[in-house]
Amino acid sequence: MATLKINGETKNFEATPDTPLLWVLRDVIGMTGTKFGCGIAQCGACTVHVDGKPVRSCLLPVSAVGDRSVTTIEGIGATPAGAAVQKAWLELEVIQCGYCQSGQIMSAAALLATTPNPDDSDINAAMAGNICRCGTYVRIRDAIKRAAGNAA
């Protein structure tokens, strides 16, 4: 039995140490908000925060997380940046199919937590790892700026 600190709660689970965090979350613990998209850290759909930093959970062995705090889409609304991003996402109606949006929101929240007033190049650097096949990028950019304004 191993443990993870997820969204402020301790979760017990059983999985081999090499199991990526993504599959522990989805298949073992049953938290399916974090998505599988490519399996090779190319698309960002699986983005979670480990100690506040965005990571691709599809390639992160669960044993490498240790006792660091994991934040997922289910818990990001409890952070000021996460709540601001979620609100702006709805205000500007960013989302279409929504499958990539857990990852987009996690990347955007991580950006705003460290860079409260990002410019376009900050947004590009933080968000270029997240693919959206529906093409919501224009609204993602606007919503990050909106969230920055809301949070201020």
Partner 1 sequence: MQLDDLTISRRNLLQGAAASGVLLAFHMPVRAATGPFAPNAFIRIAADNTTTLVMPQVEMGQGTYTSISMILAEELDADFAKVALEHAPPDDKLYANPPFGLQATGNSNSIRAFWTPLRTAGAAARAMLLQAAASQWKVDPATCSAANSMVTHAASGRTIAFGALINDAARLTPPEKPALKDPKNFTLIGKPLKRLDTPEKTNGKAVYGIDVLLPGMKFAAVAQCPVFGGKVAKVDDTATKKIAGVYKIVQLDDAVAVVADTTWTAKKGLAALDITWNEGANAKISSAEIWADLRAASQKDGLVAKHEGDAAKALAQGERIEAAYELPFLAHAPMEPLNCVLQLTKDKCEIWIGTQVMTRVQGTVAQLLNFPLDKVVVHNHLLGGGFGRRLEPDMALLSVRIAQKLDGELEGSPLKVIWSREEDIQHDVYRPVYRDTIAATLRDGKIDAWNYRVTGSSVLARWLPPVFEALKGVDFDAVDSAADMPYDIPNKHVEFTRAEPPAVPTGFWRGVGPNNNVFATECFIDELAKKAGKDPVAFRVSMLDKEPRLKAAVQMAAEKSGWGQALPARVGRGICAQVSFASFIATVVEAEVDEHGEVRLRRITSAVDTGIAVNPDTVIAQLQGGLIFGLTAALWGEITIERGRVQQSNFHDYRMLRIDEVPRIDVHVIKSGEAPGGIGETGANAGPPALRNAIYAATGVALRRLPIDRAALAGKRSA
CB of 104 to partner 1, least distance (A): 9
Distance in angstroms (rounded) separating the CA atoms of residues 118 and 90: 20
CA atoms within 13 A on the CB side of 152: 10
CB of 146 to partner 1, least distance (A): 14
CB of 54 to partner 1, least distance (A): 14
* Chain contacts with partner 1 (rule: CB under 8 A): 15-16, 18-20, 23, 26-28, 30-40, 42-43, 45, 72-74, 76-77, 86, 89-90, 93-102, 105, 123-125, 127-141
CB of 120 to partner 1, least distance (A): 9
- Residue 68 or 87: the one with the smaller Cβ distance to partner 1 is 87
- 123, two tokens: 């947004």
